[in-house]
Structure 1
Amino acid sequence: MKTIVFIGCNNFGTSKEALTIAKEMGYFIVLLTNKKNHMINKCEFPDVDHFVFIKDILDEVKVIDELTLLKVTGKQICACMSFVDPYVSYAAKLSEHLGLVQLSADSLYMMENKIRFREKLMGLSSSPFYVVFNYDQTVDQFVQRYKAFLPLILKPPASNGSKNVLLVDTTDKFKDGLKFLQKKDPIHPILVEEYLLGPQFLIEIIVHNNEMTVVGVIEQEITTNDRFIVTGYQYPAMLTNEEYKNLVDAITSIVDQIGLSNGSCHLEMRNVQGKWKLVEINPRMSGGAMNRIIEEGTGINLIKEIIRMALGEQPSLIESRKQHVYARYLTISSQGKLLKVTGKDQAMKHKGVKYVHIKPQEGSILIVPYSMGNRYACIIAASESPDIAKTIAIAAAQEIKFYLELL
C-alpha cells in the first residue's frame, strides 16, 4: 500500500491541510506525533489512516524502528516529510535514510535556527545588523554596549509564528526583554537584530534540481504592540518591475549562499528605503491559510506540488488563473472563555468571499495575541481588483462576533 509518512502536525493550517491533500492523492497516511491529544482526538484528523505516538519524536532509532514495522506490515513508504518546525530537516534525513527523495537536508537544518542562518548569510547585502546574547553574559553590560543601536528586535533562535519576538525601543525595555527571554530559556542564546522599518513581504519558493521558482509574493499587514502579528495578506504584492527584479536577485543570493538545491521554504523580507532586507527564512511553506491564498490567486495548490516533489515527481507551478486575493485574520482585545461565535454564514454570503474559518471551539480560552497562534478567524476574498478584494474581506470579517466570558 503506497504510504506517505508525516512527522508532526498542527491542529490547523498547512500541516493539517497536507494530510487531506495527500489522502486525496490516493496515499495511505501515517502520522508520527508526540502530542497525546492527537491520539485522544483522532476524529479531528479524519485523513490519517494510522497514528504512531512517540514521546521523543526526534529519537531516530525509535522512529526508524516504527518505519521498519510499517514496511513489514506491507506499507510501501513513498515519502517521509514534515510541514512543522523543527522536523523538516529531520524528515528529509529520514527520507534519505529510506532511499527516497534526497532534499537539501543540511540547508533545511540551517534554516531551522535563526542564529545559524544569520551566521551563514553574514556579508550579504540583504542581511541586517545582528548580535547574539549568550547566557553567560550580564544583561546590564550587554545593554550598555548595544543601546546605541535601539530600536532592536529580540528573538529566541528557534521561535516561529512570531512567538516571543519582541520590539524594544528603550534601554529599560531592552533589559526587560532580555530578562524575559532569559527566564523562559536560560540555556540558549538570544538573537538581537536591527529593527527594519519598511513594508514586509512573504515569499514562497520551491527549488527543484537547483532551479528556483518564486511561487508567490504576498504583502503582509502587521499589528505591532511590541509583538509582530500579521493580520492581513495581499496577493500579489504590488511591486514595480524593478522592485520585483531586485527582490528575486536578493532571494537568489540567499538561496545560493544557503545551498538549497531541492526543497521549499518561505522568506519574510522588508523593503527598507529601496533595499531588500531579510527578516527571516523558514524551511517549509508558511502556515495558516497560505495554501488557499495562493490557490485562489494562481490556481496552484502549493502543498500538493511540495508533496509531489517529496515523491520524486516534477512539481507543476504553472498559473491557471490570476486573481487578487486578500486574507484577513481576526484577534481579540480581551482574554476570556469563548461562549459562542456568530457571523460565519453571513460572512460567506458576501460576494467574493472564498473561505471563512473559525479556529477555536466553544469553551476555549482566548487571549490577546502574543504569537500568530492567537489569531482566531480567517476570511479570504478574491477579486479582479486588490482594493475590492480587501474591502470585501474586511466587510465580511465585521460579521464575525466572539462572545466571551471575561476572565
Structure 2
Amino acid sequence: MNTIVFIGTNKSGSSRDAIRAAEELGYFTVLFTDRENFFRQREEFPDVHLMIYLKKLSFSEELIREIDRLSELGNSIKGCISFIDPFVYVAARLSEYLGLAHFSTKALYRMEDKTRIRDHLVTHPTTPTYTILPFDAPLKLCIEKIKEQFPLVLKIPVSNGSKDVILAKNIEEFTEGLLFLRKKDPRSSILVEEFLNGIQYIIEVVVCNGKIKFAGVVEQKIDHKYRFIVTGYEYPATLSEETHTNLMDSVTSILKYIEFTDGSCHLEMRLVNDEWKLIEINPRISGGAMNEIIMESTGINLAKEIIKLTLGLKSFQTINEQKYVYVHYITVNSTGRLLKITGKNRASAINGVRKVYVKPRKGTILTIPLSMGDRYAYVLAASDTPEEAKRIAMKAAKEIKFYLVPL
C-alpha cells in the first residue's frame, strides 16, 4: 500500500485537512500521535487508517522501529510530513533517513526555535531589536539589560499558538511575565523583542526548487486584552501594489537567507515606518481555518498541494478567481463549565456564511483567551468585497452564545 506517514495532528484545522487530502489522493494514512485521548475518540478519525501511539514524538530508534514494522507489513512509504510544531523537523529528518523527497531540513531546524532563527537572521534588515536571556540569568541583571527598551514582548523560544507570548509595558509587567515563563519552563531561555506597532500579516508560502509557487497574504486582527490572540483573518489582504511588491521582496530575501528551497512555511510580518519587520517564521502552513480560508477564496487546497510537494510532485494548482474571505473567531470573557451553545444554525443560515465551526463539547471548561487554543468557535464568510465579508462574519458571530456555569 502506498502510504503517507503523518507525525502529529490536531483534531481539526490545516493539519487534519492534510490527512483528509492524503486520503483523497488515494494514500494509506498513518498517524503517529502522542495524544492518548485520540484513541478514545478513534471513531472521529475515519481518514486515519492506522494510528500509532508514541509517548514522545522525536527522531528516535523507537520511531524508526515502527517505520520498519510498517514496511514489513507491506506499507510502501512515499512521504513523511508534519503540520504541527515541533514535529515538522522530525518528519523532515525521517524523510531524509528513508531517502524520500524532503523539505529543506536545515532551514526547518532553524525555524523550530525562535532564538535560533533570530540569531541566524541577526543582520537581516527585517529583524527587530532583541535579546536572549539565559534561564539562569539573575532577575536584577535581566532588568538592567532591558530597562530602557519598553514596550517589549517576551517569548519562550519553542512554543506556538501565542501560548507563551507576553507584552510588557513596564518593569513590573516584565518581571511578572519573566517569572511566569520561567515557572512554566525553568530550563528555557527567554527571547525578548522590541514591540513593533502596526498591522500584522501572515504570508503563507510554498517553495519548490527555490521558487515561490504560492504566496498568500492574510491580514490579522489581534486582540491584546489578555495576550496576542488573533480573532480575525482577512484574505486576500488589501495592499497597494508597491507595498505588496516590497513585502514579497522581503519574504524572498528571508527565505534565501535561511536557505529554504523546498517546503511550506508562514511568516508573520508588520509594516513599521514603511519597513517590513519579521515577527515570526514557522515551518508549516498556519493552523486553524487557514487552509479553508485559502480554499474558499481561491479554490486551492493548500494542504493538498503541500502533500503533493512532499511526494515529489511539482505541479501546483492555479488560481482561477478570488473571493474575499473573512474569518472571525469567538472567545469567552470568563471561565466556566460549558452548559450549552446556541445560535449555530441561525449563524449558518445567514447569506454569505460558508462555515460555522464550534469546537468544545458540553461540560468542557472554557477560559479567557490566553492562547490560540482558547478560541472556541469561528465563522467563515465570503463576498465580493472585504468589507462585506467582514460584515457578514461579524453579524453571524453575534448569533453564537456560550452559556457557562461559573467554577
TM-score by length of 2: 0.98
- Please report how far the alpha carbon of residue 311 of structure 1 lies from its aligned counterpart in structure 2 after TM superposition: 0.7
Q: Does 1:78 align with 2:60?
A: no
CA separation in 1, counterparts of 2:390 and 2:186? 43
Which structure 2 segments of 5+ residues have no match?
A: none
Q: Compared with structure 1, are the counterparts of its residues 315 and 339 closer, same or farther at alpha carbon in structure 2 (3 Å cutoff)?
A: farther
- 1:215, 1:317 within 8 Å by CA — same for their partners in 2? no
Partner SS for 2:147: helix
Structure 2 counterpart of 1:87 = 87
Over residues 152-201 of structure 1, what are the superposed CA-to-partner deviations in whole Å (9 max), with x where a residue is unaligned? 00000012010120000011111111111111111110000010000000
Structure 1 counterpart of 2:387 = 387
- 1:381, 1:393 within 8 Å by CA — same for their partners in 2? yes
- 1:306, 1:315 within 8 Å by CA — same for their partners in 2? no
Structure 2 counterpart of 1:12 = 12
Q: Compared with structure 1, are the counterparts of its residues 214 and 382 closer, same or farther at alpha carbon in structure 2 (3 Å cutoff)?
A: same
Q: Does 1:196 align with 2:196?
A: yes
Percentage of matched positions with identical amino acids: 48
- 2:59, 2:90 within 8 Å by CA — same for their partners in 1? no
Equivalent residues in 2 for 1:54-203, closer than 5 Å:
54-203=54-203
Partner SS for 2:286: coil
- 1:88, 1:108 within 8 Å by CA — same for their partners in 2? yes
Structure 1 counterpart of 2:34 = 34
Note the aligned Cα RMSD (angstroms).
Answer: 1.0
- 2:339, 2:404 within 8 Å by CA — same for their partners in 1? yes
Structure 2 counterpart of 1:208 = 208
Q: Compared with structure 1, are the counterparts of its residues 364 and 118 closer, same or farther at alpha carbon in structure 2 (3 Å cutoff)?
A: same
- 2:204, 2:266 within 8 Å by CA — same for their partners in 1? yes
CA separation in 1, counterparts of 2:384 and 2:179? 49
Counterpart residue identity of residue 363, structure 1: G
CA separation in 1, counterparts of 2:10 and 2:246? 35
* Worse-matched range after superposition: 305-314 or 175-184: 175-184
- 2:59, 2:94 within 8 Å by CA — same for their partners in 1? no
Structure 1 counterpart of 2:359 = 359
Counterpart residue identity of residue 354, structure 1: R
Structure 2 counterpart of 1:229 = 229
Counterpart residue identity of residue 284, structure 2: R
CA separation in 2, counterparts of 1:258 and 1:2? 33
CA separation in 2, counterparts of 1:260 and 1:131? 25
Counterpart residue identity of residue 156, structure 2: P
CA separation in 2, counterparts of 1:17 and 1:245? 30
Runs of 4+ in structure 1 deviating by more than 6 angstroms, as ranges, are: none
Partner SS for 1:351: coil
Over residues 54-79 of structure 1, what are the superposed CA-to-partner deviations in whole Å (9 max), with x where a residue is unaligned? 11221521111111111111111111
Structure 2 counterpart of 1:337 = 337
- Please report how far the alpha carbon of residue 342 of structure 1 lies from its aligned counterpart in structure 2 after TM superposition: 1.1
Counterpart residue identity of residue 33, structure 1: T
- 2:328, 2:394 within 8 Å by CA — same for their partners in 1? yes
Over residues 178-236 of structure 1, what are the superposed CA-to-partner deviations in whole Å (9 max), with x where a residue is unaligned? 11111111111000001000000000001101111343100000000251000000111
Structure 2 counterpart of 1:264 = 264
Count of residue correspondences: 407
Which structure 1 segments of 5+ residues have no match?
A: none
CA separation in 2, counterparts of 1:317 and 1:277? 30
